[in-house]
Amino acid sequence: MDNINALIHIGSPKAGSSALQKYLVTNAIQLRQQGFFYPKHSLDNNGISSGNVLSVYDRLEDGSLVLSRRKIAKLIDDFKGSGCHTLLLSSEAFFQRVIELSRVFTDCKFIAYVRSPLDVFESGYNQLIKRHGQHKFIGLNKKLSINGIELLIRSIEGVGADRFDLRAYAINCFQGGNIINDFFKATGISDCSVQDGAYVNRSYCLEALEAKRWLNSLLLPKKIDDQIDLLLQSYNGPTREYSLLPCDVYERLRQQAITALERLNSVTAIESFDRFIESVKTTPQRKYISQAESRHFALNGFEFIFKENPRLYFCIAEYVSKEVDGASDFFSVSKPNSYLERLYYFFKGRRSPNRDLQSSFLIFLHVPKTAGTSFRSALCSYYGARKVCTDYRGGSQLVSSIIRKYLIEKNDLDGFKSALGRSSYKALSGHFNAERYSGSFRPDMFVSFVREPISRLVSLYLHKKRHNNLSCGLFEFALEPKLHNVQTKLFSGLPWPCFSFVGVTERYTDSLTCINNQLNTKFVELVKNTASNDIKDEVSISDEQLEVLRAKNLDDIALVNSVNQYLDYQLAAQVEGYSFIKGWFSINESGQLEGWLFPKEHMLSVSIEVCSKDESISYIDAEVKRIRDSQSPLNGMRAARLHMQLPETCIGEKIELYVQDTKQPILKLKKGFSGC
């Protein structure tokens, strides 16, 4: 490709890109008069866009991006025909694709605005509530996410520091007082200036934030959700300067932000860094407000919605009536000027959605003979035995009264779920298949353990022999078809990689370490696993008979192998210190790659590197969305879909996927899961 003079603004995320892009696209003619060619792009009703990304990439049906040689050729032709000397591009989507873009625009320069990771964290949480269905309290993380800075460092090391201009995103560092004027100085654009940098995609005031957070718990349709967002964006409530982080947490994360910024500056100098880092060190935290005491802020937000758009307010009330017992009858006789009695006593006194059943409750799918009794004991020790509901049916006495009342006597799963939410139970444990509870509870509430299939069969056989006077030998016992691939059958109906956790019996200690790290729990190994690893130490069986049994349990063998690999990935993430992203992918015979990722709450998108024969062949930019499909087993979860057609030359070859900024591998399965 011909060498052209190009300046590419890559963000970073939550650093003024929306305001900058709005100005550039609405003043494109004036920019051309100065020799800067900025391609057209659309703006939404909030003045937000994805910038020029679609001038360079194709967006597939699932939202992923693929470099388009056709679009790039047209872009170059349009630029050359414009008579301009500089091609100017801007998009936050470029932030994760610097190396790829550097190969297309070989002489380009990259401009990035760097914001304190602490500010990005707080602003990102606001964005999660605004556009991504977040309903939980802000996470009080021990470690601040610096993935953006790490990715920027790798990009700089990959293309060279001389191709980067890093600028501080801070009011005291902007030349000209705002990001737009500062960008003009950086790019050499003259005869343009603005008195005030326009606010675009501005953070909600606290009244709007808490109202939207509560409404997110209702899982409203996207059309209604978008109307609420657009309206609340216009709400200039009284509480705009606030912080949701306790002071000690804020100061701890501030120190981590300082360390990360100093490291980035040592790789490539950030413009006005001394002033920038001083402001990060000394700027006082805004007033701390606890979300646990924020109901009155939400009420003010609801009042604003009612006064500005009563029709929208009554539409919201329809969904409240589906969630709150008696709300339909109450609304039918309520006077309109009561604001429907403030949305029926604010969802009838519902606890904060941060502490609802879905967000903390664990469902332990106890596969027989997988050290499940040990883990159930750990649950009882940690939560207290009275807070662990048990569902061991089939003659067992371990069946809680709430199970007997609602599920055995009434067969009322909805009533059970409602009663469970009102109870003090913290976990449910029992022998059941995943489908029993999959329609009412998300997959990420489930935990389980698996075991090498033949060892599990041996343990089951010895148990039956001791307690049921079994007289046959192991081989005859294990030939019974109903005993084949039991673990796979119990998991059917739910995609196990997005369970809260799946451990391995033979690695019980490692598994407990991993689950405690992920769930911030302190489950204790109460009983050491002392089972022999050699089956022949336990029973008499020939090598030929073992091969027969393995052939009849191939699905379980594949399952346990995959869980072991998955556990390895999670332990590696703990050692390396990055957040593990759950998920999987599979590839069909025609080369269609499909999969799902389940990132942490703060992530809005995930960039995946696709490799064949240890070389990068493509990237998938997967947007994180909350799934709103009652027919999907993933309903209610935040997830990012993976989808792409492999090049013909790669079909049948070994394909590996990695999270771009951490190099975490993504689990590959031979086939995906039904309904996903």
Task: Note the pLDDT tens digit of each residue in 1-30.
Answer: 567 899 999 989 889 999 999 999 999 999
The arithmetic mean of pLDDT across residues 124-138, rounded, is 88
Tokens of 355: 């502490």
Measure the CA–CA gap between 343 and 116, rounded to whole angstroms.
39
pLDDT of residue 195: 62
Q: Is residue 649 scored above 60 in pLDDT? A: yes
Higher local confidence (pLDDT), 62 or 378: 378
Judging by beta carbons within 10 Å of its beta carbon (0-12, 13-18, 19+), is residue 52 exposed, middle or buried?
buried
Q: What pLDDT shows up at residue 350?
A: 56
Model confidence at 637: pLDDT above 70 = yes
Name the residue with higher pLDDT: 141 or 350: 141
Q: Is the pLDDT of residue 658 over 70?
A: yes
The pLDDT assigned to 607 comes to: 84
- Please indicate whether residue 471 or residue 348 has the higher confidence score (pLDDT): 471
| pLDDT band (50, 70, 90) for residue 337 | very low
Sheet holding 427-430, edge to edge: 388-391, 427-430, 362-365, 446-450, 501-504
Q: What is the pLDDT of residue 62?
A: 62
Contact 415, 406 (CB under 8 A): yes
Which band of pLDDT confidence, cut at 50, 70 and 90, is reported for residue 197? low
Give me 5's structure tokens.
């003079």
Position 63 scores a pLDDT of 66
For the chain, percent of residues with pLDDT exceeding 70 = 89
Res. 61: pLDDT tops 90:
no
What are the beta bridge partners of residue 58?
66
DSSP 395: S
pLDDT at 486 exceeding the cut of 90: yes
Q: For residue 333, what pLDDT band results from cuts at 50, 70 and 90?
A: very low
At residue 329, does pLDDT exceed 60?
no
Stretch 92-97: mean pLDDT: 92
Lowest mean pLDDT among 205-219, 336-350, 587-601: 336-350
Q: What is the mean pLDDT of residues 313-326?
A: 74
Contact 490, 557 (CB under 8 A): no
- Looking at residue 355, its pLDDT comes to 44
**All residues at 6 or more sequence positions from 676 whose CB lies less than 8 Å from its CB, including other chains:** 495, 596, 632, 633, 634
Q: Which two tokens stand for residue 614?
A: 């240890």
Give one DSSP letter per residue of 290-313, joined into a string.
-GGG-HHHHHHHHHHHHHH-HHHH
Strands annotated E in 10-82:
36-37, 57-59, 65-67
List of long-range contacts for 568-575, beta carbons under 8 Å, 24+ apart: 569/664, 569/665, 569/667, 570/514, 570/518, 571/510, 571/513, 571/514, 572/664, 573/662, 573/664, 574/513, 574/514, 574/517
**Residue pLDDT, tens place only, 522-561:** 999 876 545 555 565 667 788 899 999 999 999 999 999 9
Of residues 563, 538, 568, 599, the one with CA closest to residue 365: 563
- Across the chain, what does the average pLDDT equal? 88
Is the pLDDT at 395 greater than 80, yes or no? no
Report the pLDDT value the prediction gives residue 490, as an integer from 0 to 100: 95
Please state which of the ranges 4-8, 322-326, 580-584, 600-604 shows the lowest mean pLDDT: 322-326
Give the pLDDT of residue 396.
64
* Amino acid 342: pLDDT: 65
Judged by DSSP in three states, 287 sits in coil
pLDDT value at residue 463: 87
223-227, 250-254, 433-437, 463-467: least confidently modelled range: 463-467
Q: Classify the C-alpha dihedral 114-119-121-124 as positive or negative.
A: negative
**pTM for the whole structure:** 0.68
